[in-house]
Structure 1
């Protein structure tokens, strides 16, 4: 049954037949969290994912009244060695799809061209820790990664909030499949990424995972043992998280939904 709300362990699910309805629900949730944070504390801080799976949500967000002039935006990863104008740069994605149309008070960018990657990780972590994060808006990778916390590399108890990671072959191929690079050799092999504890530190966590290519990852998220071999399984222990699905991404998990 689609167009339903349910829960699997601690994780809330909202499942929609239409991608547009899923995107609108996620956008409404984002607007509500950020507006309330500004009303209560005078400002809001949000981490926003990039990538093709977030496009419908970000497009829908334009239809909601958000006090962007009081919002600071972070992104959650960036390739090491890529320039900010590269078509696949996550800085460019945030600049074109968040900063330009919405005009937030501040956007804090990860510098993928930093000469000292460890220093850049430390700098960005310090910015994140300056005040609580109100909302993390993220997706799920085809291999179950969160940001670029890869299977076998993710650490649910990582003391660090930002670190350099190595992309798995599955992630390299996903970037090519999404049209960001012409071939696997062109994909940077490492990236700077927020860690799982950083992502889940937010007061609210919103996970938007549409499209048929995410169906297996969604099924794994909801059914596999909760461990780092499938990082997204940690969402089932995250009571402040909501997973938004459409008919395509929920297709392998229909037996888990209410009849």
Structure 2
């Protein structure tokens, strides 16, 4: 595990974006695993800048997102499909049919999970971008006595819904369920980039990176992966010094 600390969020964003776009330049048919939330926004902004300024093409790239809320239409401005289009897909030259998210509106959600896992098995992820939840979740894999390996439906913890409520008009609008890649699927990526910022994440960063490996802190399972690059701002990494 490689841990890199940055003085500013902008430096972190630039490093992650450069790492991803360098892969795309070297491997035009790269498969990218993508995340949502507040942390990746700056990374996606930098990727768009590099795409435009350096003419890095995403025409042959395939993407798989970690998760999606159950019950939100893709056109809902709080869906992760909408987020990805707003922050990345609509600003680069990637064909829409090469971008994939779990379908939270699927009539048969279990069949949707099987379908998504089959696609992931056929196209292994080269780089998986992750954020880190306050309770240690990655994707929407919440702390539990056991974790699912493959894509599955999860009931979101109250603390996760509360953390995401800032994006909605009210707590009542925050979905209770999501579809997420499992930890097993995440760990199959060739390289994992974990990006974390903010003093409020310092304690969970310490637990995830240096504490015991436990399903009660799902991110701690990243310690078992052979190639994890952790990108932290100084506040998020302050308890590691």
From 53, 56, 59, the counterpart of 1:69: 59
Normalising by the residue count of structure 1, what TM-score does the alignment of the two structures yield? 0.86
- 2:20 is matched with which residue? 30
Unaligned ranges ≥5, structure 2: none
Q: Which runs of 4+ in 1 moved over 3 A?
A: none
Unaligned ranges ≥5, structure 1: 1-10
- 1:4 is matched with which residue? none
Structure 1 range deviating more: 243-252 or 139-148: 243-252
2:179 aligned counterpart, secondary structure: strand
From 190, 215, 218, the counterpart of 1:203: 190
From 82, 85, 103, the counterpart of 1:95: 85
2:229 aligned counterpart, secondary structure: strand
1:118-158 superposed Cα distances (whole Å, 9 cap, x missing partner): 11111111111112211111111111000000011652xx4
- 2:40 is matched with which residue? 54
From 147, 150, 170, the counterpart of 2:159: 170
Taking the aligned partners of 1:16 and 1:154, their CA distance within structure 2 comes to 34
CA contact (8 A) 1:140 1:207 kept: yes
Taking the aligned partners of 2:176 and 2:108, their CA distance within structure 1 comes to 17
CA shift in 2, pair 1:216/1:87, >3 Å: farther
Taking the aligned partners of 1:82 and 1:114, their CA distance within structure 2 comes to 10
Instruction: Report the Cα offset of residue 62 of structure 1.
Output: 2.0
Tell whether 2:140 aligns with 1:145.
no
- 2:122 is matched with which residue? 130
1:8-29 superposed Cα distances (whole Å, 9 cap, x missing partner): xxx2111011111111111111
Structure 1 range deviating more: 100-109 or 22-31: 100-109
Aligned length: 235
Taking the aligned partners of 1:154 and 1:124, their CA distance within structure 2 comes to 21
CA contact (8 A) 1:86 1:92 kept: yes
Taking the aligned partners of 1:214 and 1:102, their CA distance within structure 2 comes to 31
CA contact (8 A) 1:53 1:211 kept: no
2:102 aligned counterpart, secondary structure: coil
- 2:235 is matched with which residue? 248
